[in-house]
Amino acid sequence: MVKLSVVPARPLILALAAGLALSACVSSKPVEPPKPPVVEAPVPVKPLSYLPDDTADDTRDLNLAGDQLPPEPFRRAEIDFPTDQPPGTVIIDTGEKHLYLVEDGGKALRYGVGVGREGFAWKGTVEIGSRQKWPRWFPPKEMIVREAARGHNIPDMMEGQIGNPLGARALYLYDGTKDTLFRIHGTFEPKSIGTNASSGCIRMANADVMDLYERVKVGTRVVVR
């Protein structure tokens, strides 16, 4: 079994790009124009469609609001992703706020995620022990007590429905036969994707977790780093 380690979540860093001003010299002789700066090519990105699935047979799926998409930088895409992990592995980069599903040929499907806030982040290698559509939510007792102290009363259980904190799908993460109590799950707060907002679970936009749900199975290896 792999021991999970709890680490402080890295703060979100916004990279600011500065413009480069070029000046020309005046000369009586022809001069060779300056060579353009060498810029690394961006990672090839193939945006994927977020069109609704007309084959859905669950009215809860069909009733999902059309605005439940993550912020633009965290939209689902297929990218080049060389790795030594075998195809089918799920890799979660908690710093970059991205989840990668490794594909053949050095490719991966990349999804945006929300991760644990300070004090709730963790790393380790686990596996998907269970998969649920429209899962029931059983908040931990510690959460019930913690939220009650803040004046928020939450139920012992909530049925799978619109507004359920686990969203439309949940992938339950296990360490061997032990439930870690961490999940990869949907959310009705898509603006939280790309942030440190959860109590350790990995949040995905509902459209994304529904897509990932169909691509993975029980036993899938999940590397959280």
Q: Where are the domains of the chain?
A: 41-48+71-224
pLDDT at 59: 80
pLDDT mean across residues, the chain: 81
pLDDT at 35: 42
**Mean pLDDT value of segment 213-224:** 97
Count CA atoms closer than 13 A to 71's CA, side-chain side: 11
Confidence of residue 101 (pLDDT cuts 50, 70, 90): very high
Most confident of 1-5, 11-15, 63-67, 162-166: 162-166
**Mean pLDDT value of segment 34-43:** 41
Q: Which residues of 61-94 are buried (b: 16+ CB within 10 A; e: fewer)?
A: beebeeebbbeeebbbbbbebeeeeeeebbbbeb
pLDDT at 62: 76
Digit-coded pLDDT (tens) for 150-175:
999 988 999 999 889 999 999 999 99
pTM: 0.74
Spatial CA neighbour of 61 closest among 218, 211, 217, 202: 211
Query: Are 184 and 170 contacting, i.e. CB atoms less than 8 angstroms apart?
Result: yes
pLDDT of 198 higher than 70: yes
Vertex 214: Cα angle to 175 and 194 (nearest 5): 70
CATH topology (fold) of 41-48+71-224: L,D-transpeptidase catalytic domain-like (2.40.440)
